[in-house]
Amino acid sequence: MRTFAVYNLKGGVGKTATAVNLAFLSSLGGARTLVWDLDPQGAASFYFRVTAAVKGAGKKLVKGSLDAAGLVQSTEHAHLDVLPADFSARNLDLTLDAAKDPERRLARVLAEVADDYDHAFLDCPPSVSLVSEAVLYAADVLLVPVIPTPLAMRALEQVLDFAARKGPAGLVILPFFCLVDLRRKLHREVVALKDLPGARFLKSAIPYASIVEQMGTHLAPLATYAPSSPAAEAYVALWREVVRRTGRALGRR
Ligand SMILES: Nc1ncnc2c1ncn2[C@@H]1O[C@H](COP(=O)(O)OP(=O)(O)OP(=O)(O)O)[C@@H](O)[C@H]1O
Ligand SMILES: [Mg+2]
């Protein structure tokens, strides 16, 4: 199983939309796909129309008092399951803090289901925390959506620094531009600048498009209700590029 964490310490940059759309595309290609909603806001669970069946599930999972397999919910999409968020995830930091080996805990939970899935996607809350540290250890690939503004580029530098200090060696970090509005001069300028030392931007970028926001009314991935929209095509291109780049960086495993 290969694990993709969609992470940024910045909020509202398109993490959840990316996790949901890429996971759907992964499942559409026939890969057995799991989405783990680590954000107590539960947006990814909401888009896939699932809710946690067990109270305090997130906490129990991380503590090891419940099995991941028992909490996984199937969705209406083939090959696509979700470990839903529940409100106890808001205290995941405290739960981890009280646990032994906190930064390995999420990886350990994923190891339980590693034979059942080809791809796991972690939808992460926007923070720099113990949960984020555990995400670094659980992931093979960190997908970092970045809005093309100077402040967001600074946040990316902080993510790279955090991953370098706290993450394991060999973690593949793939930043890409998201919510891009090329009518804006600032966005054009930042997109043109691109690469930072330590991270090469993916060539694919996700445009700002109100059709993406409509995921909230359709409660479904973009490709199910607007498959030929430019934004849906951008997610397809992004997923293809991620698969190519990770295949090259991590080898076939
Ligand atoms: N490409 C896009 N174009 C326009 N709106 C978008 C796009 N991607 C996401 N959005 C909208 O922007 C808002 C934030 O997106 P999303 O929830 O994916 O970000 P996030 O990084 O997961 O946020 P949070 O940090 O709160 O978890 C949502 O209302 C979503 O519908
Ligand atoms: Mg989110």
Distance CA 91, CA 198 (A): 32
The answer to whether 168 and 142 have CB atoms below 8 angstroms apart is no
**pTM given for the model:** 0.96
Number of independent structural domains in the chain? 1
CATH of the domain at 27: 3.40.50.300
Six token digits for residue 31: 């890969």
The answer to whether 125 and 40 have CB atoms below 8 angstroms apart is yes
Distance CA 253, CA 176 (A): 24
CA 14–ligand 2 middle distance (angstroms): 7
Dihedral Cα 90, 95, 101, 106, nearest 10 deg? -40
* Ligand 1 pocket list (CB less than 6 A): 11-17, 39, 43, 126, 179, 206, 208-209, 212-213, 215-216, 231
Indicate the residue type of 187: H
Residue with tokens 């991935």, as numbered in its chain: 221
Task: Count CB atoms within 10 A of the CB of residue 110.
Answer: 21
Written as one string, the DSSP assignment of 154-173 is HHHHHHHHHHHHHSPTT-EE
Q: Which of ligand 1's atoms lies nearest the C-alpha of 8?
A: 21
pLDDT value, residue 251: 67
Q: Which of ligand 1's atoms lies nearest the C-alpha of 39?
A: 27
Distance CA 48, CA 98 (A): 31
Per DSSP, 149 falls in state S
Question: Phi and psi (nearest 5°) for 27?
Answer: -70, -35
SS3 10: coil
Of 206, 212, 47, 24, the residue nearest 121 (C-alpha): 24
Q: Which of the listed residues 13, 16, 48 should we mutate to test ligand 1's pocket, taking the one with most ligand atoms within 8 A of CB?
A: 16
Question: Which residues, 6 or more positions from 120, have their beta carbon under 8 angstroms from its beta carbon?
Answer: 1, 2, 3, 4, 33, 34, 35, 36, 110, 113
Distance CA 188, CA 38 (A): 33
The answer to whether 205 and 234 have CB atoms below 8 angstroms apart is yes
- Show pLDDT as tens, one digit a residue, over the chain (253 residues): 999 999 999 999 999 999 999 999 999 999 999 999 999 899 999 999 999 888 888 888 888 888 998 899 999 999 999 999 887 778 888 888 888 889 999 999 999 999 999 999 999 999 999 999 999 999 999 999 999 998 998 999 999 999 999 999 999 999 999 999 989 988 888 888 767 666 789 999 999 999 999 999 999 999 999 999 999 999 999 999 999 999 877 765 4
CA 43–ligand 1 middle distance (angstroms): 10
CA 213–ligand 1 middle distance (angstroms): 7
Print the domain residue range for 68: 2-250
